[in-house]
Each structure stands twice: as structure tokens, then as C-alpha cells.
Structure 1
Amino acid sequence: MTTRQVLVTGATGYIGGRLVPRLLADGFTVRVLARSPQKLTDVPWAPDVEIVQGDLHDADSVRDAMRGIDIVYYLVHSMRASGDFEEEESDAARTVAEAAEAAGVSRIVYLGALHPDGEKLSRHLRSRVAVGRILLASGVPTIVFQAGVVIGSGSASFEMIRHLTEVLPYMPAPKWVRNRIQPIAIRDVLFYLRAAADLPPEVNRAFDIGGPDILRYGQMMNGYAVEAGLRQRPIASLPVFTPWLASQWVNLVTPIPRSLAVPIIESLQYDCVVQETDIDGVIPPPEGGLTGYRKAVRLALAKMRDGAVETSWRNSSVDGAPSDPLPSEPDWAGHTVYTDVRERASTANPASVWRVIEGIGGERGWYSFPLAWALRGWADKLVGGVGLTRGRLDPDRLQTGDAVDWWRVERLERGSRLRLRAEMRVPGRAWLELSVEPGEQGSGSIYHQRAIFFPQGLPGRLYWLSILPFHGIIFSGMVNRIVLEAEAETQAEAEAEAANAEQPEG
């Protein structure tokens, strides 16, 4: 039997990043199309797939990616809160549809959005419906799954429910908390996506999919509270909460940035429930049935406790955040560039220093002036940025493309160098680079720290000058605390080894 070739778009996202290893486990040969392949450098399945660089708006790169492909998974969707993303998404869908038909692809699988009929949809829901229609009209057998709120560890919808419930003892809420929603567990979404690869060619239509429970949003929050061991929250529906105002509220009290909160909240303005169950006649439910909401929450919480979250909304691109990598230093000529460079020799071994570097951010913080970092994080939140509350996915280990508070891991040379690109709202582009090398004569280590800022016009220059007085406190504090932390770890290791050596054998 010939191994089937699969192309996955959106493999750097929440759904795609979980689907790829499952396709590999089932024997498919997988190719992924990524605009930024470096984001996949450290994922565990990277060696087992073919990674090609390309953009869905570039017809040539899409055609190249389609060669020899049997099944295409279309798992991309812009979560931007501004701009003409509707036309851009339709253009990308048309590019994929035309390339798939020309390449003789046997099936397209698209994950769209559950939506009511006869309503004036939000721009994001309208765009997803339009993409589905373009793919269905491609001439290639296509299945469109229309899903609502996805519940799983790391999903944006689940994280919004979790943080709203945990942070607020009392919930003043928009009137949409009384709307009916049919959530679906991430494991069931993946089940349907995988099963779609085996469908006969005559299946060419959209299907609603959802879990077994129909709930109001307020019930979902209190269902989470029960599973998390919290008391249920009183919820008051307030008509003054417009979608825009609600997104500001979510931005402030949860890690979800405003750019992501807006499309999520806009989609909650309607009753979003399954209107037909025709999918059962095409793909029978999984063994044991679909996962109920409370069980889905329980499974997500267990994954979080075990540190086994595979993918997260945190690693999605942020609307408006700089995405260009740090230029090589020869390219700096002719540009205004501000830097803050520091280094410190240390008795700590390089491995200890690296562990401190790789564990920076999140709950451990930034090793200097916590109040200043917190205030800067809140300031970023107030202007719609990600702030500090986004945290990090794994407390000890990073991957290229990971989010770390308001930073993004741009380059990772494990054991020696970490470069972070700022995604906070600043008038320019900023990076923070932390590195370690062995000390002279191989004794101890040397810790290097470099902040780099490319200002944008006069506001960028004024911004750098305004924070310059704080650099002596913040950046020097970082150097001192990171080195002290690493030295304490090295000392503890030496004492443990000495204690073990003193113990008599057997």
C-alpha cells in the first residue's frame, strides 16, 4: 500500500501542531508549509516531516508545496483585530484551491467555525464561512468542519474561561454570557480531522461538529470552577458591555491580548450550537462517545498539572507585533541602534548559568526590579499589548518560537545563547540576548547580556531616552541576580557531590 502524502498548513498553530504527530503515528508522510520554518526547529516531530518555507499568498510556493500531495489540511485563520484580513484570507484560500486542483489533490480538510444561519456575522466568522465556500468550490473533494469553542489545555477559549473564573470572585459580564454554546474537546476535533483523510471523494460539504453539552457561557465558567475546586461565581449580565468594551476587560484580567480577545468575543454574540448532526452518518462518533464539557476541562487541567501541554495559543502570532528577525550586525550600518551591553565573569559553571537563562520569565520573573517590570506590563496591556501575564508554556525548557511574557524566542542555541524578540507595543523593534561561555582556562563562566533597540522615528528615540535612567537598575540587576542564582546552583551541586563522596559504600 502506498503511503499517503499529507500537506499541513498551520502546523505552527494550536490545532495543526497537535494534528501533525497524530498523522505521523498513523503512517502518513507529512509535509508542512510554514512562513517561518524556524518556529518548528525544536518541536519533537520536526525530524520526521518535510518542512518547506512558503506563504499562502505566494502562488509559486503553494504550487511547489502541493507536488505529490494527496490530502491538504487547511488549518490557518487570521486572528487579527484590524486590517483587511477578510480579503486576504479569501485570496489565500483561492490560491490553495487552485493549486490543489492543479496538483490532483484528492481531498482538502478545513476547520471552520460554527455559526448561526440568518444572522449578521462578525468579520471573523464571515471570513471563515467565505474560506469554506471557496474550498468547497475548488473542484477538489472538500470537507469543512464547523466547530465552536474548543476546550483543551492551551486553547485560547479555555484559557479565557480559566482566567476569568480564577481571577474574578464576582463576574460582571456582557449579555452574551446567557447565549447557548456547544463546546467541543480538542481530542474530538483531532478525531474528526484525522478521520477525514479516509473519506470517499463524494463527500464534499460542510458539517457542524460539537460536543454533547449545550451550555450558556456562564455555565461553562462555573463548570470550570467545579472541576478546578473553586466555588461557583455569581455572574451578572450587564447590557452596557459592548464587544469592544468586553475585549478590553478580557485583555486586562486575563493573559489573552486584545487582538485575540476581539475575534473570540465577537463569535460569542450569537447562539452557536450544532444545527445538524449529519456528520454521524459520515464519520461515526469516537468509541465511547464525544467528550463532555466537564470531562474536557478535567483532562485539560490534568495536562497542565503534568506539564504536558503540547501546543498553546501563546505561540500564535500577535497582531501588530514585530516579526522581523534581528538583522546581522553588518546590516546595522547607517541605522540608529541603541544597545545596553553587560557581562560578568562568574564562578558558576556554564550549565548552571544556562539553566537560569532558559528558565527566565513566567513565574520566575526577570531577576530585577519586579515592580518596574509589572508596571511596564500593565502599561502594555492598557494599549492592547500582551503584557507580562502571557507567561510561558514550560517553566524549564524553551523552544524556538515560544512566547515568554511579552517576548518571543527568536533564536535558541541550547546551552549557550537565547535571543528574545519583543512583542510589546513600543515605537521600534527590540531584542534581549542572553548568553554564556566557559571562563578563561575553562574555569567558571562568562555571562553576556545585550539589549538592542531599533527606534522608529522621533518617538522611538524619545522612548529609549525616557527609559535610559532605569537601565542602570534593571539591566545591572539582571546581570547580578542571574549570576548569583547560577553560582548558588553550582555551589549546591558541589556540596551534594561532596556529601555523596563522603558516604561509605554499600
Structure 2
Amino acid sequence: MALTLVTGGTGHLGRDIVDRLVRDGRHVRVFARSPGTRSDVEWASGDLATGAGLREALHDVDTVINAATYSPIARRGGIRPTDFFTSPSAVDVEGTGRLLSSCGEARVRHFLHVSIVGLDEATLPYARVKLAGERLVRASALSWSLVRAMPFYYLLDRLLSGLAWLPVWPVPTTLFNPVDTSDVADHVVACAFDGMRGERAEIGGPEDLELVSLARRYQDARRLHRKILPMNLSDAKARGMGFVVSHGVRGRLSWTDWLQRNDPVARSATQR
């Protein structure tokens, strides 16, 4: 049976990818620093940042789905001044390079890399790091695919929750279409096994909404009452900050429906 290795398989997107693969009856191995608890996959311990465990993890692997990334903003759920000047590259650049090299040695048949929509004009350091990793994939002699996705709902939720203490929220008016990780996982898994290669259709959410509208829907769903101060951004500045609209495949789950499904108050009530 063909074996699929998923890097980043314990992250939000990675978990959904693993779920889809298992549901489809595929043999899955997850590469992670610490083995998880689920018993329907194989676990391979290692670290892309150092290369530890890669050779063993790729043994008998046919397909690699690289969903690993290291975003300080996503991990802490907020932006700090340092994020405008630097972002770690050990996973997304050096780690991607190590993984590509090891895949070549292991004769992996297909390498699928998950990236972000709008990197070419984005100026934030994390975006530049992601673009550098992409370029390594594009230059690789491997048989590769590249899927760019819009930012995820869970990250937008985390960032907006960090504003809850402010009485006034300054929010850009630019359009945006974030997406749920479950929809991205469906698209990624389809692209991994449909026989096509190269740059694939990017994926975003089903609605093009102004960030002001996204913030208002968040406040309504979380029962918050904060004044929103709309801020106009030029198109160039918006693109530089990663605020774009994807024109590829569209996910199905809306922002409003995602907020309802992930309401911490409702979840707490059902668990009593």
C-alpha cells in the first residue's frame, strides 16, 4: 500500500489533512516532534528545523504533503513589533530544503507543498520566508505540486479575540476571503492524488467580505460591543499586508457558520 507522509500533521490544517487521508483509506505517517495519540496513523518523530528523523520518516513513502510551517503570529495569536522586521526561517526555508533533498534521496514520487495566497506582493517577513520556501519547491527536480491557501478562520478568530480589550477597533476596509482548514484539506488531498502536477488552483473562502464586515460578524457571534473604526488602505498597502482575494477554488463553510460552530460559550454549555 502506498504510504503518505504528512509534515505539520499536528497543526490545524495538518490534522484535517490527516483526517481526510484516513477517511479515504490511505496509509498515513505523521512527522512530528512528539508522537500524537491517534492510533489509525503511523508516527515518525523528528524536526524539520534540524532534519532529525527525516531519513527514517521517508522510508517507503510514496507521497509527501508538506503542511509544516512556523508562524510566530499564528502561534501566539497576536502581532508584535518584531513581526514587521523578522521571522524565523528554520522550518519554512531550511526545513523545506532539507525535506526536498531527503525526498529526492528516498525517491518520493510526489511532493505537495502548502503555501499562502498573495505572497508575490506581500512584504511582511513571514510572507517573504514562505515565498523563499516556495521557490525551493519550484526549483526542485522532484515531481511537485503547490497549493496556495488564504489565511484560516481560526487564525482570524484568534487575532480578533486579542482585540477584545480595546474599546475601539481600527480595521481596514479592504476585501478578504479567509477560509476554513477543512475546506483547504479537501482541496489539498484531492490535488495530492489526481495525477496532476505543478502550481494548482489556489483556495479561499466562499465570500469576499470587507475586513470591517468580518470584524462585525465576529463581534455579533461573540456578543461583543466595540466601536469599529474603518481605515482606508491603498491597494498596494493592502496587498503588502496580505489582504487579497483568492480567485481559485472556493471553500464551502462561511465565516458566520464557522463562528457558530466554534462558539466557546455554546460549546461550554453543551459540555455541562
Give your verdict on TM over 0.5.
yes
Between structure 1 and structure 2, the one with the greater Rg is 1
CA distance in 2, matches of 1:88, 1:162: 27
1:160 corresponds to which residue? 159
CA distance in 1, matches of 2:136, 2:211: 31
Pick closer, same or farther for the CA change 1:93–1:238 going to 2, 3 Å: same
- Please give the residue correspondences for 1:16-55 in structure 2 after superposition, counting only pairs within 5 Å: 16-37=14-35, 40=36, 43=37, 45=38, 47-55=39-47
Give me the CA root mean square deviation. Answer: 3.0
Amino acid at match of 1:15: L
Deviations 1:347-378 (A, max 9, x none): xxxxxxxxxxxxxxxxxxxxxxxxxxxxxxxx
2:116 corresponds to which residue? 113
CA distance in 2, matches of 1:203, 1:12: 25
Give yes or no for contact 1:122–1:267 (8 Å, CA) kept in 2.
no
Give yes or no for contact 2:70–2:91 (8 Å, CA) kept in 1.
no
Instruction: Give runs of ≥4 in structure 1 deviating > 6 Å.
Output: none
Pick closer, same or farther for the CA change 1:227–1:87 going to 2, 3 Å: closer
- Please give the residue correspondences for 1:192-203 in structure 2 after superposition, counting only pairs within 5 Å: 192-200=187-195, 202-203=196-197
The answer to whether the aligner puts 1:179 opposite 2:171 as a matched pair is no
Deviations 1:405-445 (A, max 9, x none): xxxxxxxxxxxxxxxxxxxxxxxxxxxxxxxxxxxxxxxxx
CA distance in 1, matches of 2:119, 2:210: 15
Pick closer, same or farther for the CA change 1:304–1:27 going to 2, 3 Å: farther
2:227 corresponds to which residue? 234
Which among 243, 248, 256 is matched to residue 294 of structure 1? 256
CA distance in 2, matches of 1:271, 1:128: 16
- Give the superposition deviation at 1:74: 1.0
Amino acid at match of 1:158: D
Deviations 1:380-418 (A, max 9, x none): xxxxxxxxxxxxxxx99xxxxxxxxxxxxxxxxxxxxxx
- Give the superposition deviation at 1:57: 4.2
- Give the superposition deviation at 1:50: 1.8
Which among 138, 141, 152 is matched to residue 139 of structure 1? 141
1:123 corresponds to which residue? 125
Under a length normalisation based on structure 1, what TM-score does the superposition of the two structures give?
0.45
1:331 corresponds to which residue? none
Deviations 1:119-138 (A, max 9, x none): 35211011112212212332
Secondary structure of the corresponding residue to residue 140 of structure 1: coil
- Give the superposition deviation at 1:228: 4.0
Under a length normalisation based on structure 2, what TM-score does the superposition of the two structures give?
0.79
CA distance in 2, matches of 1:26, 1:293: 27
Give yes or no for contact 2:65–2:192 (8 Å, CA) kept in 1.
no
The answer to whether the aligner puts 1:272 opposite 2:244 as a matched pair is yes
- Please give the residue correspondences for 1:176-325 in structure 2 after superposition, counting only pairs within 5 Å: 177-200=172-195, 202-230=196-224, 233-237=226-230, 269-274=241-246, 276-277=247-248, 280=249, 290-301=252-263, 305-306=266-267
Q: Which runs of 5+ in 1 are unaligned?
A: 240-265, 308-394, 397-506
Deviations 1:175-233 (A, max 9, x none): xx222211112221121122123221x421153210121122221110123334555x4
Deviations 1:457-497 (A, max 9, x none): xxxxxxxxxxxxxxxxxxxxxxxxxxxxxxxxxxxxxxxxx
Secondary structure of the corresponding residue to residue 68 of structure 2: coil
Between the two structures, name the one with larger relative contact order (CA 8 Å, sep ≥ 6).
2
1:464 corresponds to which residue? none
- Give the superposition deviation at 1:157: 2.2
